[in-house]
């Protein structure tokens, strides 16, 4: 393996491992509080990271970076990474999202790293964690804070709370409920839990400092009343923990060592540490606690990564679904043809830094795709905008108009072991409409009257003209074949040409639907400055063409990757493509991206 580029997280982890920061660590709390009390700690000295998506949407390319970062650090340092569904919000979460997240992580190839602890005995399910499994502990922690005077029930209205929170440079104002006794607070908290109070009538808040320069430390809300059925705990609870309270507890119970998140959470870190220190004081958890580290989130040009906005694209039918090949979701990227390898390469190259705000050019994703797929992708010829070429002297050279001349080409130019493809050249072939010009512009080396080109893997031909319809549109291109110039024969070099064109035989070519994708947005930062991102949707983001392709492609399986020569990288559509043996099925290919230079001859 090539040495991995370093980043600040690797330095931190290496130092921690060298200092034995996690050796011999033992966690407090009662048996059953966290998964590692139940299952036993396999190796407490290991580092543990986690990827904690909220199951309220499909994962996107930003999540791919976080998945790559957390899983690859665990992998590199012999640790473990937890896939944790952060499902503490009962209203927005759905099973469909849980399933799609599970599938995406598995597709990226990380499911084996999840198998640290046995899940259900006797099943092969990789281990997964659900934050909602810790609701009992979270509530106990809330009671502990309340009893200890670290939390209070606030009955201000949300508007009053907002007004009294203050602002940057303006300290907040204490709630009139702030000085209730711990005993009163505990009694009311239990009433909240027991359903004695209406939704929204009161909240539990941490009691920290309403004058803190960090607004997140101004008595953050930690529990609210919400009568909603939770996908995991049903109607057991009518109070639910807030994310900022729940998250550190999830990390601590799972004995996460390095809790890696994006920079927006930097201001939450003091509360994260405050909370875990209080609970350690109370013996609910013991040191060393997990530590939070922030890195700059991934922003990709021409891409939106807000789940809410992605949902809007789906719900308002601007795309065909969460897995539309134009979507930056992992389901969409997969269907478009991006591979796990290419996404990991992209994630790694986009860098891990302590500063945010940088945008990564979408071209870097395409470069990673080409690099990852080019060594493996089978080559094929496809004509995306077919026009017929007739070789007028065919029977003079081959004896009959029906003669078909067998041609071969390597499946991959650098991998002879991948074998050869075969197809037939006949009197009529499909060529690209753009390969013929009646009056060639300067530097045009393809077909125009009097010019010679090679039909790739076939013969040199000389263009003699074209026929036109009544409106003057080119109908058929005409040429003469030059005998004894077949590729791979001694005569191949007898005629020098400047142009080589791709083609598909009319006799053996197959019809295929090819979907040509372009950027979904015309602006690099579609939602910058509060712009309505729908106003910059690219109307040309999808063009469907009826193409002609090489006969071998009838055997393509869904998700097989190809390089269509001169055109770029394509994938057989995961859902709509079916191989066409026995005349059944339907060929559907998606363009992932073009070739770096589309004009090599």
Which positions touch Mg ion (CB under 5 A)?
A: 54
| 546 interface partner picked from Mg ion, ligand ATP, none, CB below 5 to 8 A per type | none
62 binds ligand ATP (CB under 6 A): yes
CB 593 within 8 A of CB 342: no
Residue (of 525, 545, 542, 543) closest to 533 by Cα position: 525
Active site residue 54: yes
Could you tell me the smallest distance in angstroms from the CB atom of residue 306 to ligand ATP? 5
Could you tell me the smallest distance in angstroms from the CB atom of residue 308 to Mg ion? 9
Give the number of residues in contact with ligand ATP, rule: CB under 6 A. 14
How many residues are there in the chain?
Answer: 601
Per-residue binding letters, 270-309, with ligand ATP (x by CB under 6 A): ---------------------------xx------xxx--
Instruction: State residue 73 phi and psi, 5-degree precision.
Output: -65, -45
Q: Among 48, 63, 326, 370, which residue interacts with ligand ATP (rule: CB under 6 A)?
A: 63
**Residue tagged 């281990």 (tokens):** 127
3-class DSSP state for residue 259? strand
Close Cβ partners of 446 (under 8 Å, ≥ 6 residues apart): 435, 436, 437, 440, 453, 499, 501
Q: Which of 25, 54, 266, 456 is catalytic?
A: 54
| 566 interface partner picked from ligand ATP, Mg ion, none, CB below 5 to 8 A per type | none
52 binds ligand ATP (CB under 6 A): yes
Residue (of 239, 195, 252, 262) closest to 88 by Cα position: 239
Rounded-to-integer distance, Cα 154 and Cα 220, Å? 11
The tokens for 380 are 């094929």
Nearer to ligand ATP, 209 or 527 (CB): 527
| 305 interface partner picked from ligand ATP, Mg ion, none, CB below 5 to 8 A per type | ligand ATP
Site for ligand ATP in 161-200 (CB under 6 A): none
CB 286 within 8 A of CB 161: no
Close Cβ partners of 361 (under 8 Å, ≥ 6 residues apart): 300, 301
Could you tell me the smallest distance in angstroms from the CB atom of residue 45 to ligand ATP? 24
Could you tell me the smallest distance in angstroms from the CB atom of residue 307 to ligand ATP? 3
Residue (of 462, 440, 439, 445) closest to 389 by Cα position: 462
Could you tell me the smallest distance in angstroms from the CB atom of residue 92 to ligand ATP? 9
Could you tell me the smallest distance in angstroms from the CB atom of residue 52 to ligand ATP? 6
Stretch that binds ligand ATP, among 48-56, 270-278, 330-338, 506-514 (CB under 6 A): 48-56
3-state secondary structure 358-419: CCECHHHHHHHHHHHHCCCCEEECEECCEEEEEECCHHHHHCCCCCCEEEEEECCCCCHHHC
Active site residue 297: yes
Can you say whether the dihedral through the CA atoms of 587, 593, 598, 601 is positive or negative? negative
244 binds ligand ATP (CB under 6 A): no
Residue (of 138, 585, 560) closest to 378 by Cα position: 560
Nearer to ligand ATP, 249 or 461 (CB): 249
Could you tell me the smallest distance in angstroms from the CB atom of residue 305 to ligand ATP? 5
Q: Among 202, 242, 256, 261, which residue interacts with ligand ATP (rule: CB under 6 A)?
A: 261
| 262 interface partner picked from Mg ion, ligand ATP, none, CB below 5 to 8 A per type | ligand ATP
Nearer to ligand ATP, 63 or 427 (CB): 63
What is the distance in angstroms between the CA of the first residue and the CA of the last residue of the chain?
A: 35
Nearer to ligand ATP, 104 or 500 (CB): 104
DSSP lists the bridge partners of residue 479 as 391, 463
350 binds ligand ATP (CB under 6 A): no
Q: Where are the alpha helices (DSSP H) in 57-134?
A: 61-76, 95-107
Q: Which of 46, 102, 193, 307 is catalytic?
A: 307
Q: Which of 25, 106, 187, 297 is catalytic?
A: 297
Active site residue 376: no
Nearer to ligand ATP, 207 or 302 (CB): 302
262 binds ligand ATP (CB under 6 A): yes
| 297 interface partner picked from ligand ATP, Mg ion, none, CB below 5 to 8 A per type | ligand ATP
Rounded-to-integer distance, Cα 535 and Cα 538, Å? 9
| 298 interface partner picked from Mg ion, ligand ATP, none, CB below 5 to 8 A per type | ligand ATP
Instruction: State residue 107 phi and psi, 5-degree precision.
Output: -60, -40
Instruction: State residue 461 phi and psi, 5-degree precision.
Output: -130, 160
| 217 interface partner picked from ligand ATP, Mg ion, none, CB below 5 to 8 A per type | none
Nearer to ligand ATP, 62 or 172 (CB): 62
Q: Among 66, 175, 257, 590, which residue interacts with ligand ATP (rule: CB under 6 A)?
A: 66
Rounded-to-integer distance, Cα 300 and Cα 321, Å? 21
Question: Which residues make up the interface to ligand ATP (CB under 6 A)?
Answer: 52-54, 62-63, 65-66, 261-262, 297-298, 305-307
Residue numbers annotated as active site = 54, 297, 307
């Amino acid at each position: 393996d090539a040495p991995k580029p370093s980043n600040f997280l690797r330095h931190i982890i290496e130092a921690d491992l060298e200092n034995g920061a996690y050796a011999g660590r033992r966690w407090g709390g009662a048996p059953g509080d966290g998964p590692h009390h139940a299952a036993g700690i396999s190796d407490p000295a290991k580092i543990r990271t986690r990827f904690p998506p909220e199951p309220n949407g499909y994962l996107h390319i930003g999540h791919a970076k976080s998945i790559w970062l957390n899983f690859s650090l665990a992998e590199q340092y012999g640790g473990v990474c937890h896939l944790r569904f952060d499902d503490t919000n009962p209203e927005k979460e759905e099973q469909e999202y849980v399933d799609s997240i599970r599938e995406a992580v598995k597709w990226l190839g990380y499911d084996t790293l999840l198998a640290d602890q046995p899940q259900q005995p006797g099943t092969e399910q990789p281990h997964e964690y659900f934050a909602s499994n810790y609701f009992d502990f979270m509530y106990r922690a809330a009671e502990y804070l309340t009893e200890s005077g670290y939390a209070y029930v606030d009955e201000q209205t949300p508007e009053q709370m907002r007004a009294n929170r203050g602002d940057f440079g303006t300290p907040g104002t204490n709630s009139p409920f702030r000085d209730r006794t711990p005993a009163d607070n505990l009694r009311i908290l239990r009433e909240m839990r027991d359903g004695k109070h209406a939704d929204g009538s009161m909240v539990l808040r941490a009691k920290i400092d309403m004058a803190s320069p960090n607004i997140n430390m101004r008595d953050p809300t930690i529990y609210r009343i919400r009568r909603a059925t939770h996908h995991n705990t049903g109607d057991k609870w009518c109070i639910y923990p807030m994310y900022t309270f729940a998250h550190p507890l999830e990390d601590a119970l799972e004995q996460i060592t390095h809790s890696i998140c994006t920079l927006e959470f930097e201001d939450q870190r003091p509360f994260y540490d405050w909370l875990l220190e209080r609970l350690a004081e109370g013996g609910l958890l013991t040191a060393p606690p997990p530590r939070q580290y922030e890195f700059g989130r991934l922003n990709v040009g021409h891409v939106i990564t807000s789940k809410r906005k992605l949902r809007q694209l789906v719900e308002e039918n601007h795309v065909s679904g969460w897995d539309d090949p134009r979507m930056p979701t992992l389901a969409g990227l997969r269907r478009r043809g991006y591979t796990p390898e290419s996404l990991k390469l992209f994630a790694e190259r986009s860098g891990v830094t302590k500063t945010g705000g940088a945008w990564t050019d979408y071209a870097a994703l395409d470069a990673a795709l080409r690099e990852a797929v080019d060594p493996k992708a089978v080559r094929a010829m496809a004509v995306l905008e077919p026009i017929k070429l007739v070789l007028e002297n065919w029977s003079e050279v081959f004896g009959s108009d029906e003669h078909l001349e067998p041609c071969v080409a390597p499946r991959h130019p650098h991998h002879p072991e991948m074998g050869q493809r075969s197809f037939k050249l006949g009197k009529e072939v499909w060529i690209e409409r753009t390969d013929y010009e009646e009056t060639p512009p300067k530097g045009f080396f393809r077909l125009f009257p009097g010019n010679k080109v090679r039909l790739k893997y076939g013969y040199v031909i000389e263009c003699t003209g074209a026929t036109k319809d009544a409106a003057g549109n080119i109908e058929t291109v005409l040429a003469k074949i030059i005998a004894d110039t077949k590729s791979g024969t001694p005569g191949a070099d007898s005629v020098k040409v400047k142009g080589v064109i791709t083609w598909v035989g009319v006799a053996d070519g197959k019809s295929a639907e090819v979907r040509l994708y372009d950027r979904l947005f015309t602006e690099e930062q579609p939602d910058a400055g509060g712009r309505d991102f729908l106003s910059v949707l690219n109307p040309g983001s999808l063009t469907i063409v009826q193409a002609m392709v090489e006969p071998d492609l009838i055997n393509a399986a869904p998700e097989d990757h190809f390089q269509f020569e001169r055109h770029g990288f394509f994938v057989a559509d995961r859902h709509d493509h079916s191989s066409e043996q026995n005349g059944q099925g339907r060929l559907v290919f998606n363009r992932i991206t073009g070739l770096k230079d589309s004009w090599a001859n």
